[in-house]
């Protein structure tokens, strides 16, 4: 028979006392309206994907060079598949790459040699359009349609508002009517997946500058250095798209409890570089001030279940690791400890006996983990067990 233990937990800030977490008096007031300048924005926590703030997050808008995040992802998967390292040298056989004079570029020329890492660094740091086109050429030498793969990857990730026509994000067509589109929500999902799969991207995007071919390339991300912990991710700008920025901040050290906590903000369609940076920092500050990773269940906390099928009437289980959730102040969570229906005849220490389920005020499951027996438990005699089963059957069915 399934047993359940329910505990209500009021999550307010940082100090945990058995079942209640009390508020810190220095907590900043929760503020829903940030008065952002941009057309669309979203703030998510990277590990859970939880949306912390949004503004027109599903609006389909021009992407500009935010496109290059997908260019990066498709290229990295290609390199991984063929086991090509970042130190591999690329020889530029021709100079057919056409990039508008005013567009950002590295300045690749025929007979140049450049490493894979340098291509990636220039793609991400100065948004080099010729590097993006060279990446496409490299991949398409194997008969692969790079743009097709970008759209295929978008579909795999569930990016329903995203459509790519090129690898750069530049506006094309005689009437400037061909351009890549996406939504703030889609881009946050893309960024989340990239950071999870290829966290090394942050080693590049956190740099304020790099030197390639004796040129100093300065990062276009104005949020770097303006807030401790900001280490990426990508800028974009065209006259059609406005000023765009995907920013990310590592709050692991600030959170103070050793649990992963990373914010990702997406800002699309700001009116200037100043405002895309300001909007991004406002979003990141909002997330840092109002949301926290908090321990809900410590790994040594014991959960007791009454069970007459064993000689000891109480069976105890524990989690093997701390359970934490991302929460805002005054958020209420419910902890349900549920025992499995079909347990072993004799339970051994370390056997899985149930699970802990954490739900929010909407009864949505936000986290769960297995419970393990803290010691051996021997069954009652077989005849007594069958007697209990028969009695339970009649209780349920009569």
Q: Which of 76-80, 93-97, 118-122, 360-364 has the lowest mean pLDDT?
A: 93-97
pLDDT at 163: 98
CA within 13 Å, CB half, 209 = 6
Mean pLDDT of the chain: 86
Q: Is 68 a catalytic residue?
A: yes
pLDDT at 41: 98
pLDDT at 21: 34
Of 25 and 54, which is predicted with more confidence?
54
**Continuous segment of H or E residues that includes residue 268:** strand 262-270
Choice among 39, 68, 153, 192 that is catalytic: 68
Choice among 14, 39, 55, 65 that is catalytic: 65
Residue 8 banded pLDDT, cuts 50, 70, 90: low
Q: Is 65 a catalytic residue?
A: yes
Q: Is 2 a catalytic residue?
A: no
Average pLDDT over residues 97-114: 90
pLDDT tens digits along 268-322: 999 999 999 999 999 999 999 898 887 888 888 899 887 766 677 788 889 988 8
pLDDT above 80: residue 253: no
Residue 360 banded pLDDT, cuts 50, 70, 90: confident
pLDDT tens digits along 168-200: 999 987 777 899 999 999 999 999 999 999 999
Choice among 127, 131, 182, 270 that is catalytic: 127
Q: Measuring CA to CA, how many Å separate 203 from each of 103, 194, 286? A: 25, 13, 25
pTM more than 0.85: no
pLDDT at 241: 97
Domains and CATH numbers, the chain: 4-21+295-397 (2.60.410.10), 40-270 (3.40.710.10)
pLDDT tens digits along 32-42: 679 999 999 99
DSSP code of residue 178: B
pLDDT above 60: residue 27: no
**Cβ within 8 Å of residue 374, ≥6 positions away:** 302, 316, 317, 318, 349
Is 328 labelled as part of a ligand binding site? Answer: no
Handedness of CA 54, 60, 62, 67 (dihedral sign): positive
How far apart are alpha carbons 312 and 92 in whole angstroms? 75
Residue 29 banded pLDDT, cuts 50, 70, 90: very low
**Continuous segment of H or E residues that includes residue 249:** strand 242-250
Structure-token pair, residue 317: 């289980």
């Amino acid at each position: 028979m399934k047993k359940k233990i329910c505990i209500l937990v009021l999550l307010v800030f940082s100090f945990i006392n058995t079942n209640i977490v009390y508020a810190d008096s220095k907590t900043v007031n929760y503020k829903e309206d940030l008065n952002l300048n941009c057309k669309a924005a979203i703030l998510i926590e990277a590990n859970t994907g939880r949306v912390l703030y949004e503004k027109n997050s599903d609006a389909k808008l021009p992407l500009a060079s935010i496109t290059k995040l997908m260019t990066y992802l498709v290229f990295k998967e290609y390199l991984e598949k063929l086991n090509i390292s970042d130190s591999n040298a690329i020889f530029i056989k021709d100079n057919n790459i056409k990039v508008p004079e005013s567009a950002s570029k590295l300045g690749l020329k025929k007979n140049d040699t450049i490493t894979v890492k340098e291509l990636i660094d220039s793609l991400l740091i100065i948004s080099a359009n010729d590097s993006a086109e060279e990446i496409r050429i490299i991949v398409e030498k194997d008969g692969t349609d790079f743009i097709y793969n970008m759209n295929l990857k978008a579909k795999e990730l569930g990016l329903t508002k995203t459509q790519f026509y090129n690898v750069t994000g530049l506006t094309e067509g005689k009437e400037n009517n061909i351009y890549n589109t996406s939504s703030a929500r889609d881009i946050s999902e893309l960024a989340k997946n990239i950071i999870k799969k290829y966290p090394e991207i942050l080693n590049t995007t956190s740099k304020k500058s790099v030197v390639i071919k004796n040129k100093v390339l300065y990062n276009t991300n104005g949020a770097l250095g303006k807030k401790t912990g900001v280490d990426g991710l990508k800028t974009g700008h065209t006259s059609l798209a406005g000023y765009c920025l995907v920013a990310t901040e590592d709050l692991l050290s600030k959170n103070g409890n050793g649990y992963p906590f990373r914010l990702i903000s997406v800002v699309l369609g700001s009116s200037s570089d100043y405002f895309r940076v300001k909007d991004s920092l406002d979003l990141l500050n909002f997330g840092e001030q109002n949301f926290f990773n908090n321990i809900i269940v410590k790994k040594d906390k014991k959960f007791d279940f009454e069970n007459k099928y064993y000689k000891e009437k109480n069976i105890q289980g524990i989690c093997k690791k701390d359970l934490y959730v991302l929460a805002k102040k005054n958020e209420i969570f419910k902890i349900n400890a549920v025992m499995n229906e079909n347990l072993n005849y004799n339970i051994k220490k370390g056997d899985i006996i149930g699970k802990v389920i954490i739900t929010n005020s909407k009864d949505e499951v936000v986290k769960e983990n297995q419970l393990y027996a803290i010691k051996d438990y021997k069954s009652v005699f077989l005849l007594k067990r069958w007697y209990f089963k028969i009695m339970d059957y009649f209780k349920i069915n009569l």
